[in-house]
Amino acid sequence: MSFSGPSIQQKPQLSSLQILWKGIVISGFVLFLFYNVLYHHPNNDHDLFVPFIAQKLPASSPNNVTSSPTNLSHIMFVLVGCIRTWKYRRPYIEAWWRENKTRGNIWLDVAPTQELLPWPSSSPPFRVNEDIKKLKIYPKLVNPVEVRIYRSVLETFRLEDNKDVRWFVMADDDSLFFLDNLVEVLGKYDHTKYYYIGTNSECIKSNYDFSFDMGFGGAGYALSYALVEALASTIDECIERYPHLSLSDYLSSSCSADLGVDLIIEKGIHQIDLRGDISGLLSSHPKSPLITLHHFDAIAPIFPSMNRTEAVNHLMKPAKLDQSRLLQQTICYLRQSNWTFSISWGYSAHIYESIFPRSILRRPLETFRPWKEDRPPLFMFNTRRPSNDPCKAPHVFSLEGVLDRDEGSSSHEHIITTYSRSLQRNLPACSSNGNHSADPIVKIQVFSSSTGRKEAGRIECCDVDYVAGKDIANVKLRACMKSEVLA
């Protein structure tokens, strides 16, 4: 390891070399400002926090700095598991892993036992972590397992399979990725700068106990190549600074913080520190692309009457056709009945017998419980309390199937998702809004007519086509009109 990361320490005197260096840095900075003025793009407001020396480094990495668009081959996965949990969690990884396309490994505590061999080619290849007992800090480590987990990123870097790697993505063996969205979101950031992208917990208490600045590892977080290169030469020193930290993610956040790098939160990344039925959350997803979900063994199956594996695989069906719309909430109205339709594409459809504005419906229904019972406020976001008021309680439908009418052709102009009633609502109609009951409806069909991915961060609108008394309602997604108000 000849490369040592950019130092931010001030030296007491200036040698002529340092004066020259200062000159280079200042002119670099002027160029950098000029570049930013010329090519300002909306997501570079974090750039100023990056030590600018790092940005001016020539390509000491195998990466080409003038880069092509980010794609899956630029991402190196650092998945961490252990032999004990592998058997149960393998289906979660295999639901998203793309053999021969995704790069990376699953890091294990010990070599797989005979019953787990031969290792399936549909799973990421396994690696066994180095024995950390060789570290001189070992006797002082409060939680050696967590240090093993964090060092997987270092061990991955040292495999020297880094050609064209732009991002190292850390995650657990029970994290579920939506790869097309991951690629799109990481593509917004410049991997030659220092970036640490993840999310914190849904529960205020978990963030308070560890850190509001920590990317939770089960949700998954991404470290740019430049950052991992800098960490590689400093991780073991960092571990010596923090032998008392009991969580690998906290260690990771601390080591990055000491290099001047703070967490950037992406709202499509989910730790799911929740219990029970998370359908309320998945039915009011933020308009950011869905990137990960986690903790399937701690929550109820996300689709009714399926087991956990089946439910995860069911969600992957729409994911295979269009990840840009997956869980994206689209709201429209049937004025002649005073109904609101709220679609979470590829997951659920709700009908309310009232007109609710988007400002209300974007708040998740609190169908779930926090990770640990506690006093409110519990969550990092606002929720709606479930209600038995017929004017407030939705009729709930969940994904039944996906049909690609253009299957075989390259366009996906006509993807139809269908949603069927999960349970009877067992409430009378909302009488104050005209007494229009939605009970006859057993199925909702949603037509996506767009030819491409939905633009991230922008909602779509829809129209309802329904003849009173019929058992099927049709909803057509479309671009929102100028100044269209959802209320």
Residues that bind ligand NAG (CB under 6 A): 59, 64-66, 68, 71, 73, 99-100, 164, 307, 309-310, 336, 338, 429, 431-435, 437
Q: Nearest approach, Cβ of 450 to ligand NAG (angstroms)? A: 22
Round to whole Å and give the CA distance between 474 and 468: 12
Q: Nearest approach, Cβ of 71 to ligand NAG (angstroms)? A: 4
Round to whole Å and give the CA distance between 297 and 278: 12
Q: Please answer whether residues 463 and 332 qualify as being in contact, where contact means their C-beta atoms are separated by less than 8 angstroms.
A: yes
Q: Please answer whether residues 421 and 399 qualify as being in contact, where contact means their C-beta atoms are separated by less than 8 angstroms.
A: no
Instruction: Considering the complex, state which of residue 135 and residue 302 has its C-beta at the smaller distance from ligand NAG.
Output: 302
377 preceded by cis ω (within 30°)?
Answer: yes
Shortest CA distance to 258 belongs to which of 196, 168, 165, 209? 196
Q: Nearest approach, Cβ of 65 to ligand NAG (angstroms)? A: 6
For 233, the token pair is 């030469």
Beta strands in 317-471 (DSSP E): 329-334, 339-344, 348-352, 368-370, 395-404, 415-421, 443-448, 461-465
Instruction: Considering the complex, state which of residue 13 and residue 307 has its C-beta at the smaller distance from ligand NAG.
Output: 307
Instruction: Considering the complex, state which of residue 181 and residue 383 has its C-beta at the smaller distance from ligand NAG.
Output: 181
Round to whole Å and give the CA distance between 454 and 368: 29
Round to whole Å and give the CA distance between 183 and 166: 11
Instruction: Considering the complex, state which of residue 136 and residue 335 has its C-beta at the smaller distance from ligand NAG.
Output: 335
Buried b or exposed e, range 37-55, using 16+ CB within 10 angstroms: eeeeeeeeebbeebbbbbb
Q: Facing residues of 107 across strands?
A: 80, 127
Instruction: Considering the complex, state which of residue 101 and residue 140 has its C-beta at the smaller distance from ligand NAG.
Output: 101
Q: Nearest approach, Cβ of 423 to ligand NAG (angstroms)? A: 20
Instruction: Considering the complex, state which of residue 234 and residue 309 has its C-beta at the smaller distance from ligand NAG.
Output: 309
Q: Nearest approach, Cβ of 258 to ligand NAG (angstroms)? A: 30
β-strand pairing of 75-80 with 103-108? parallel
Round to whole Å and give the CA distance between 200 and 217: 9
Residue 396 to residues 40, 310, 336, 422, 442, Cα–Cα distance (Å):
44, 20, 20, 6, 10
Closest residue to ligand NAG, Cβ-based? 434
Q: Nearest approach, Cβ of 72 to ligand NAG (angstroms)? A: 6
Q: What is the DSSP string of 106-163?
A: EEESSPPPGGG-SPPTTSPPEEE---GGGSTTGGG-S-HHHHHHHHHHHHHHHTT--T
Instruction: Considering the complex, state which of residue 279 and residue 338 has its C-beta at the smaller distance from ligand NAG.
Output: 338
Instruction: Considering the complex, state which of residue 94 and residue 213 has its C-beta at the smaller distance from ligand NAG.
Output: 94
Shortest CA distance to 334 belongs to which of 468, 215, 244? 468
Q: Nearest approach, Cβ of 79 to ligand NAG (angstroms)? A: 18
Q: Nearest approach, Cβ of 310 to ligand NAG (angstroms)? A: 5
Instruction: Considering the complex, state which of residue 306 and residue 380 has its C-beta at the smaller distance from ligand NAG.
Output: 306
Instruction: Considering the complex, state which of residue 16 and residue 305 has its C-beta at the smaller distance from ligand NAG.
Output: 305
Q: At 471, phi and psi to the nearest 5?
A: -95, -5
Q: Nearest approach, Cβ of 87 to ligand NAG (angstroms)? A: 10
- Going 418 to 422 to 423 to 425, the CA torsion angle's sign is negative
Q: Nearest approach, Cβ of 66 to ligand NAG (angstroms)? A: 5
